[in-house]
């Protein structure tokens, strides 16, 4: 099959993308001038095989979510993002849908936090972007597992340790914020499908949804049980980006503590694991 316009565009923009700007190590010999396929797949949260098939024209109908993820990973401008959607035969998401575009200014801010686990989610708590240290801390998430609400009620959960009380508080906060998001974006079909799936398959979610549960995410200490470095107790802060409805989650350790040492160790172990 001939290379499609979409595949050609992804390949061309992958070649020009800077690994350093994406927060990836640049040491050693690199045959690729820009990002390797493996690196683009990691940053976009999709498989290497799928990236290969898209570039070679063997996969020709990428979803809106995949195109959005590739655009973020490739650090596209607004105009370039629109072109990528058009090349895929899709209309760029417009008003009435949950925003997923990360502006260059927000991206630059995240680039300066390489020693800190940082992730960006949309208003529905779907993971849009995670730096390598966040991925090393929390593990790689693909598919539906990228949505924190789906993962908590129907999926594998997370490495964060919860008491019964903190688990209940988290569930109430997630349901409350998701309900508020559906009120702001009532035309977003992906969001409506997410809520319908959760209500149909989780009695706990359905109960909280029907009871109009209230709650909100607050700054707190969280203990993360990591399989390699052990437990880390970290401060977790959630920041909002005005005008875009993005949520930035940042984990930090108290300086001079064992947790800070474990986080520093993880920054080495995690980087080696991600590119090995």
pLDDT for the residue 140: 87
Question: pLDDT tens across 89-128, in order?
Answer: 887 876 678 988 888 788 888 888 888 999 999 999 999 9
The per-residue b/e assignment along 164-197, b for 16 or more CB within 10 angstroms, e otherwise, is eeeeebbbbbbbbbbeebbeebeebebbeebbee
- Pull the structure tokens for residue 154: 């129907």
SS3 at position 184: helix
pTM, two decimals, is 0.75
Which are the contacts of 222, defined by CB distance < 8 A and separation ≥ 6?
160, 161, 233, 234, 235, 236, 251
| Distance of alpha carbon 100 from alpha carbon 29, whole angstroms | 34
Question: pLDDT tens across 226-272, in order?
Answer: 999 999 999 999 998 887 889 999 999 999 999 999 999 999 887 55
Please, are residues 266 and 259 in contact by the beta-carbon 8 Å criterion?
no
Residue 226: HSE in the Cβ half-sphere, 13 Å Cα cutoff: 25
Let me know how long the chain is. Answer: 276
Confidence tier at 21 by pLDDT (50, 70, 90): confident
- Pull the structure tokens for residue 188: 């977003």
* Domains detected in the chain: 5-87 (1.10.260.40), 104-275 (3.30.450.180)
Question: pLDDT tens across 139-177, in order?
Answer: 988 889 999 999 999 998 899 999 999 899 899 999 999
DSSP for 79-124? HHHHHHHHHTT-PPP-TTS---PPPHHHHHHHHT-TTS-EEEE-TT
DSSP for 183-212? HH-TT-HHHHHHHHHHHHH-HHHHHHHHTT
Residue 266: HSE in the Cβ half-sphere, 13 Å Cα cutoff: 30
Q: Which residues pair with 246 in a beta bridge?
A: 241
Please, are residues 129 and 72 in contact by the beta-carbon 8 Å criterion?
yes
- Pull the structure tokens for residue 197: 């799936």
């Amino acid at each position: 099959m001939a290379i499609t316009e979409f595949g050609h565009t992804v390949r061309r923009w992958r070649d020009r993308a800077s690994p350093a700007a994406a927060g990836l190590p640049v040491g050693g010999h690199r045959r690729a001038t820009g990002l390797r396929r493996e690196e683009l797949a990691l940053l976009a949260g999709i498989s290497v095989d799928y990236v290969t098939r898209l570039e070679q024209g063997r996969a020709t109908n990428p979803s809106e979510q995949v195109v959005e993820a590739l655009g973020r990973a490739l650090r596209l401008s607004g105009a370039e993002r629109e072109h990528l959607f058009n090349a895929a035969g899709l209309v760029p998401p417009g008003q009435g849908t949950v925003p997923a575009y990360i502006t260059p200014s927000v991206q630059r801010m995240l680039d300066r936090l390489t020693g800190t686990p940082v992730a960006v989610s949309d208003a529905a708590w779907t993971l849009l972007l995670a730096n390598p240290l966040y991925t090393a801390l929390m593990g790689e998430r693909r598919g539906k597992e990228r949505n924190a609400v789906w993962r908590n009620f129907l999926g594998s959960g997370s490495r964060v340790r919860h008491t019964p009380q903190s688990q209940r508080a988290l569930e109430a906060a997630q349901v409350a914020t998701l309900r508020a998001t559906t009120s702001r974006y009532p035309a977003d079909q992906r969001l409506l499908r997410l809520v319908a799936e959760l209500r149909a398959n989780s009695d706990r979610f359905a109960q909280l949804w029907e009871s109009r549960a209230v709650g909100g995410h607050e700054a707190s200490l969280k203990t993360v049980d990591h399989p390699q470095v052990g437990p880390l107790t970290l401060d977790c802060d959630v920041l909002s980006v005005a005008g875009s409805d993005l949520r930035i989650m940042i984990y930090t350790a108290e300086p001079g503590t064992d947790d800070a040492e474990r986080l520093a160790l993880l920054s080495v172990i995690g980087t080696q694991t991600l590119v090995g």
